[in-house]
Amino acid sequence: MSGREHHYEVTVEWTGNTGNGTAKYFDYGRDHDITAPGKPLIRGSADPAFLGQKERWNPEELLVAALSECHMLTYFALCARERIVVTAYTDAAAGTMTEEKGNSGRFTEVVLHPVVTIADPADAERAAALHHDANRDCFIAKSVNFPVLHEVEIRTGS
């Protein structure tokens, strides 16, 4: 499998032109649509702090969601390989972005908070440890230049 490439294509179309394009910073909308063939439309905007609409997804939320989703799916693969049965999983992920001089900013960290329910209490210690491996192996976490941390809660039962 080493060396295989995977390509991803999406279309981002700006829908926020209010008539004068970007002639004035405060006069144009930040709304846009994200599409990919055969998938539901994602309605995006900027964060409200940057003049976007709060009811639409912003790029910062999508980045945090991508990290959470990638971690979960990588974790599931590792659990399946070790025959640890996960019966429920939620993650209230949180990212921190800091604004910098020059109208820019960057993420300084994302903290994942997975709450995982597993079938067998005897697997609890290993199930918790596999989050480290999932963080190490997650394609997206390996691609960002800030720490992706995790604070795990393991539950047992169904």
Is 91:72 a contact under the CB 8 Å cutoff? yes
Contacts of residue 20, Cβ cutoff 8 Å, sequence gap at least 6: 27, 28
When pLDDT is averaged across residues 136-141 and rounded to a whole number, the result is 96
DSSP-H helix ranges across the chain = 59-81, 124-137
DSSP SS3 for 77: helix
For 31-61, what is each residue's pLDDT tens digit? Answer: 999 999 999 999 999 999 999 999 999 999 9
Which two structure tokens, joined as six digits, stand for 82? Answer: 């070790």
* Position 152 confidence tier, pLDDT thresholds 50, 70, 90: very high
pLDDT in tens, 66-121: 999 999 999 999 999 999 999 999 999 999 999 998 888 999 999 999 999 999 99
Say if residues 61 and 90 touch (Cβ distance below 8 Å).
no
* pLDDT > 70? residue 158: no
Query: Which pLDDT does position 103 carry in this prediction?
Result: 80
Residue 149 has pLDDT above 80, yes or no: yes
What does the pLDDT read at residue 142?
Answer: 96
SS3 of residue 132 by DSSP: helix
Angle of helix 59-81 versus helix 124-137 axis, rounded to 10: 130
Are 141 and 105 spatial neighbours (Cβ–Cβ below 8 Å)?
no
- Find the largest Cα–Cα distance for the chain: 63
Rounded to whole angstroms, how far apart are CA atoms 104 and 81?
42
What is the model's pLDDT at position 32? 96
Is the model's pLDDT at 65 over the cut of 70? yes
Q: Model confidence at 3, in pLDDT bands (50, 70, 90)? A: confident
Strand 153-156 and strand 114-118: the pairing is parallel
Domain 59-156 -> CATH class: alpha beta
The residues spanned by each domain of the chain are 11-50, 59-156
Query: What sign does the dihedral 92-13-97-70 (CA atoms) show?
Result: positive
